[in-house]
Amino acid sequence: MKMQAEDRLWELLNDIDDYLEGGFRRPHASPVRLPVSSAAAPSANSRGGSVETARGPSPAAAEVAAAGETEAGAPEAAELLDPAERKRRLSELAARVTACTHCKLHKTRRKAVPGMGVIDPLVMVIGEGPGADEDASGLPFVGRAGQYLDKWLEAIDLSRHKNAYIANIVKCRPPNNRDPEPAESEACFPYLMEQIALVRPKTILTVGRVASQILIGRFDSIGSLRGRVYQFSGIPLVPTYHPSGVLRNPGYRRPVWEDMKLLRSILTR
Ligand code: URA
Ligand code: SF4
């Protein structure tokens, strides 16, 4: 079990590196690059600091921007795209997601759930995958957990209608809300990378173990990952519990509130 999850992380971390170095070579990926300068995971031995170190440098976005789109499909620097163009590309991405058949989750979904919110948000919330309500509506985090999440955001002046964007690791519902399988997270990952590049969030909030482990690149419990700030591709990332977990375990409320204050402190500094 444990090995399998570690293997999944390894695959995804290689994916992140590939993306930063020149975009995914995947049929459903579009050549936009992350607008920032360094990649995911913290070093394994740095504990206790408020900000953990990134995995390593990637080429400056400007170098790639100068090259534009080459025959090899080098990605464009997303920061050079104007807001209207980024919105246009997000709609186009949503259309690709809606029609996507790149993993077996497409067979059981009712509606794919690409994501929703504003561009250039203060925070991009990243969950695990759609549940029953999301599968029925095509919108992320609209069920009970989603309404609870909206309250957390509201407590620090954030809202998906005003200054936040919400997305998931996988865009189609895993049957019976099981964890996404490695092949599914991996197949869907290029969409999330494109979204981050086009949305350009100031911070990232990962909710739950699955999204936190994948984006932090560390196979630890959410309880030990949370409580500090990481960097994902140069973007400050705060991990916390999943709202559905907190609904089941009121003991997680206090740590979540601490994490929301941590997020707020980054936004106001
Ligand atoms: N849980 C998630 O992780 N994402 C959703 O969109 C809804 C519930
Ligand atoms: Fe495609 Fe992602 Fe849906 Fe799988 S979960 S079918 S990769 S959109």
Q: pLDDT tens-digit profile of 217-261?
A: 998 999 999 999 999 999 999 999 999 999 999 999 999 999 999
Answer yes or no: is 28 within a domain. no
Q: Which residue puts its alpha carbon closest to atom 3 of ligand 2?
A: 172
Q: Mapped to the 3 state alphabet, what secondary structure does 85-101 carry?
A: HHHHHHHHHHHHHHCCC
Using the atom order of ligand 1, give the atom closest to the CA of residue 243. 1
Distance 112 CA to ligand 2 centre (A): 8
The pLDDT value recorded for residue 37 is 52
Q: What is the pLDDT of residue 36?
A: 54
Q: Name the band, by pLDDT with cuts 50, 70 and 90, for residue 3.
A: low
Average of per-residue pLDDT across 35-39: 51
Beta-strand pair 123-127/116-117: unpaired
177: CA distance to ligand 1 center in Å?
A: 9
- What are the tens digits of pLDDT across the range 58-83? 333 333 333 334 344 456 667 678 99
pLDDT score at 242: 98
Report if residue 157 sits inside a domain: yes
Domain hosting 261: range is 2-22+34-267
Which residues does a 6 A CB cutoff place in the pocket of ligand 2? 97, 100-103, 105-106, 112, 170-172, 184, 187-188
| 190 in any annotated domain | yes
Cα-to-centroid distance, 102 and ligand 2 (Å): 6
Residue owning tokens 């020149």: 22
What are 240's strand-pairing partners?
207
Any domain includes 89 = yes
Q: What is the dihedral of CA 141, 162, 62, 30, to 10 degrees?
A: 40
Structural domain count, the chain: 1
Q: CB under 6 Å to ligand 1: residues?
A: 127-131, 134, 140-141, 145-146, 168
Task: Assign residue 233 the CATH number of its domain.
Answer: 3.40.470.10
Tokens 């695990």 found at = 128
**Domain assignment present for 27:** no
Report which of 167, 150, 156, 246 is spatially closest to residue 201, judged by C-alpha positions: 167
| Confidence at residue 52, expressed as pLDDT on a 0 to 100 scale | 52
Is 29 within a domain? no
> Residue 147 contacts by C-beta under 8 Å, 6 or more apart in sequence?
none
